[in-house]
A and B are shown apart, each in its own frame.
Chain A
Amino acid sequence: MTTRRDFLKQFGAASLVSLGAKPASFLARAAAATVAKPDERILVLVQLAGGNDGLNTVVPFGRAEYYKARPGVGIGKDTVLKLNDELGLHPAMAGFKQLFDEGWLSVIQGVGYPNPDRSHFRAMDIWQSAKPEKDDVSSGWLGRALDSTVEQHVGKVPGLAFGTDKLPLSLVASKINVPTVRDVKGYQLQLGPGSESALKAHKQALERIAGRDASAGSDLDFLRRTARTAWSSAEKLKQISASYKPATEYPGNALGQKLRTVAEIISGDMGTRMFFVNLDGFDTHSQQSNAHQALLTELSSAITAFVGDLKGHGLADRVLVATFSEFGRRVAENGSLGTDHGAASQMFVVSPKCKGGVIGAHPSLTDLDDGDLKFHTDFRSVYATLLDRWLSIQSEPVLGGAFRPVEFV
Chain B
Amino acid sequence: MANDMQRTDVEWSRREATHFLWRTGFGASADEIQQVTTDGLDKAIDRLLSPQTESAAFGKADAVLRQAAFDSGNIADLKAWWLHRMTASANPLVEKLTLLWHNHFATSNAKVDSVPLMAAQNDLLRRESLGSFRRVLYDIAKDVAMLVWLDSNSNRKRHPNENFAREVMELFSLGVGNYSEHDIQEAARAFTGWHVRNGEFWFNAIQHDTGEKAVFSKRGHFDGGEVIELCLEHPACPRFLAFKLLRQFVEPSPSREHIDALAARIRQHNFEWRSILRELFSSRLFFSEQARQSIIKSPVELLLGAVRQLKAKPNLQSLARLSAELGQDLFEPPTVKGWDGGRLWISSTTLIQRANFATALLKSNQLGSVSFATLRVEDDVNYFVQLLLARDVGAEAVAELRQFMKNQTGDPETRLRSLTQFVMQMPEYQLT
Residues on A lying within 8 angstroms of B by beta carbon are: 117-122, 161, 165-167, 177, 179-182, 186-193, 198, 201-202, 205-206, 208-210, 212, 219-220, 222-224, 226-227, 229-231, 233-234, 285-286, 334-336, 338, 340-341, 370
Contact present for B349 and A334 (CB under 8 Å): no
Q: Which of B343, B356, B396 contacts A190 (CB 8 A)?
A: B356
Nearest residue (CB) in A for B344 is A166
B348 contacts A177, CB within 8 Å?
yes
- Is there an interface contact between B151 and A227, defined as CB atoms closer than 8 Å? no
Assembly CA distance A119 to B184 (angstroms): 11
Q: Is B158 an interface residue (CB 8 A)?
A: yes
Interface residue B88 (Cβ < 8 Å from any Cβ of A): no
When distances are taken between beta carbons in the complex, the residues of chain A under 8 Å from B407 are: 198, 201
Q: How far is the CA of A335 from the CA of B252 in the complex (A)?
A: 41
Cα separation A233 to B349 with both chains bound (whole Å): 10
The binding surface of chain B is classed by DSSP as helix
- Whether, in the assembled complex, B139 has its beta carbon less than 8 Å from a beta carbon of chain A, the answer is no
Contact A212 B396 (CB under 8 A): yes
- A187 adjacent to B159 (CB under 8 Å): no
B170 at interface (Cβ–Cβ under 8 A)? yes
Within the assembled complex, what's the spacing in Å between the Cα atoms of A222 and B350?
14
Residue B347 interfacial (CB < 8 Å): yes
Query: Which 4 A-B residue pairs are closest in the complex by CB-CB distance?
Result: A335-B159, A180-B347, A336-B154, A230-B348
Q: Which residues in A have their C-beta under 8 angstroms from that of B344?
A: 166-167
What are 12 of the A-B contact pairs (CB < 8 Å)?
A: A117-B176, A179-B349, A187-B348, A192-B363, A206-B355, A208-B400, A209-B426, A209-B427, A219-B294, A220-B431, A224-B427, A230-B352
Residue B275 CB within 8 A of the other chain: no
Cross-chain contact A226 with B163 (CB below 8 angstroms): no
A201 to B355, CA, bound (A): 16
Residue of A121, A181, A198 contacting most chain B CB atoms (<10 Å): A121
B352 to A231, Cβ gap below 8 A?
A: yes
A120→B337 CA distance, assembly (Å): 9
Q: Which listed residue, B340, B351, B359, touches A223 by the CB 8 Å rule?
A: B351
Bound-state Cα–Cα, A7 to B335, Å: 44
Q: Given the complex of chains A and B, what is the CA–CA distance between A338 and B337 in angstroms?
A: 21
Q: Mark each residue of chain B from 314 to 340: 1 if its CB lies under 8 Å from any CB of chain A, else 0.
A: 000000000001010000001101001
Q: B364 in the interface, Cβ–Cβ < 8 Å?
A: yes
Q: Which residue in B161, B252, B334 is a CB contact (below 8 Å) of A285?
A: B161
Is B181 among interface residues, defined by CB-CB distance under 8 A? yes
**Contact status B352-A286, CB under 8 Å:** no
Contact present for A180 and B294 (CB under 8 Å): no
| Alpha-carbon distance A188/B418, docked complex (angstroms) | 19
- B347 near A165 with CB under 8 A, answer yes
* Residue pair B181, A192 in contact (C-beta under 8 Å): no
Name the interface size band of chain B.
Answer: 35 or more
Q: State the CA gap A121–B161 with chains docked (Å).
A: 19
Residues of A contacting B396 in the complex (Cβ-Cβ under 8 angstroms): 212
Q: How far is the CB of A230 from chain B (nearest CB, A)?
A: 3
A121, A202, A334: the one contacting B154 at CB < 8 Å is A334
A202-B404 Cα distance, complex, nearest whole Å: 8
Considering only CB atoms, which chain B residue lies closest to A177 in the complex? B348
B348 and A229 contacting across the interface, CB-CB below 8 Å: yes
Q: Assuming the A-B contacts A188-B352, A334-B159, A335-B158, are A219 and B347 also in contact, with contact meaning beta carbons closer than 8 angstroms in the complex?
A: no
Do B364 and A192 have beta carbons less than 8 Å apart? yes
Residue B282 interfacial (CB < 8 Å):
no
Nearest-neighbor residue (CB-CB) of B393 within chain A: A209
Q: Does B346 contact A (CB under 8 A)?
A: yes
Q: Is B242 an interface residue (CB 8 A)?
A: no
Instruction: List the A side residues contacting B156 at CB < 8 Å.
Output: 335
B349 lies within 8 A of A209 (CB): no
Of chain B, the residue at the smallest CB distance from A195 is B409
CB contact between B349 and one of A122, A182, A206, A227 (< 8 Å): that residue: A182
Q: Are A226 and B347 in contact (CB under 8 A)?
A: yes
Question: B356, B409, B422: which contacts A189 (Cβ < 8 A)?
Answer: B356
Q: Taking A161-B347, A336-B161 as contacts, is the C-beta distance between A119 and B170 under 8 angstroms?
A: yes
Q: Are B400 and A205 in contact (CB under 8 A)?
A: yes
Contact A335-B335, Cβ < 8 Å, known A205-B400, A222-B343: no
Query: Least Cβ distance of B175 to chain A in Å?
Result: 10
Q: Which residues of B contact A186 (CB under 8 A)?
A: 325, 349, 352-353
Whether A202 and B422, one on each chain, are in contact in the complex, defined by CB atoms closer than 8 angstroms, is yes
Q: Return the chain A residue nearest B252 by Cβ.
A: A219
Q: Are B161 and A334 in contact (CB under 8 A)?
A: yes
**Best-buried of A201, A206, A229 by chain B (most CB within 10 Å):** A206
* Contact assessment for A226 and B348 in the assembled complex, using a CB-CB cutoff below 8 Å: yes
B residues 391-432 touching A (CB-CB < 8 Å): 394, 396-397, 400, 403-404, 407, 409, 418, 421-422, 425-428, 430-431
**A residues near B421, Cβ cutoff 8 Å:** 191-192
Q: Is the CB of A285 within 8 A of B163?
A: yes
Q: Does A165 lie within 8 Å of B397, measured CB to CB? A: no
Instruction: Enumerate chain A residues within 8 angstroms of B181, measured Cβ to Cβ.
Output: 118, 370
Query: Quick check: B161 and A205 within 8 Å, CB to CB?
Result: no
Q: Chain A's nearest CB lies how many Å from the CB of B405?
A: 11
A180 x B154 contact (CB < 8 A): no
Residues in chain B near residue A210, CB distance under 8 A = 426-427
Closest to B417 in A: A192
Query: When the two chains form their complex, are residues B355 and A189 in contact, meaning their CB atoms are under 8 A apart?
Result: yes
Closest to A202 in B: B422
Give the complex CA separation of A179 and B348 in angstroms: 5
Question: What distance in Å separates the Cβ of B356 from its nearest Cβ neighbour in chain A?
Answer: 4
Whether B349 contacts A180 by the Cβ 8 Å rule is: yes
Given contacts A119-B176, A208-B400, A336-B161, contact A167 B347 (CB under 8 A): yes
**Closest B-chain residue to A233, C-beta based?**
B348
